[in-house]
Amino acid sequence: MSNQENNPKKDKDEKKEGLAPDPETLHKTDPQENMKGPVSSFIQNIKETAEENDVESKDEADQKKDKNI
């Protein structure tokens, strides 16, 4: 049996590099706010709409809940 120094699996792992993060998203509390693309834009629109419609305070929600129990 021969000892092969060129292990194809090892070479494949060494060549694999991850994608670098966008500089815009580094050192931010919520980097997803600056992401661009069809999915990110869609999700951001949903988030903004939900935040606009969130007018009920926690106290009001608790009173409603207590009333319905």
Residue-wise pLDDT for 3-18, tens only, equals 555 666 665 556 667 8
Tell whether 60 is covered by a domain: yes
Tell whether 69 is covered by a domain: yes
Range of 39's domain? 31-69
Q: Which of 37, 16, 33, 17 is nearest to 25 (CA)?
A: 33
Tell whether 40 is covered by a domain: yes
DSSP summary character for residue 66: H
Tell whether 43 is covered by a domain: yes
Distance CA 33, CA 11 (A): 37
pLDDT of the residue at 21: 75
Tell whether 12 is covered by a domain: no
Tell whether 22 is covered by a domain: no
Q: What is the pLDDT of residues 46-66, one digit of tens each?
A: 988 888 877 778 888 888 889
Tell whether 59 is covered by a domain: yes
Tell whether 53 is covered by a domain: yes
pLDDT of the residue at 11: 59
Q: How many residues does the chain have?
A: 69
User: How many domains would you assign to the chain?
Assistant: 1
Distance CA 25, CA 32 (A): 7
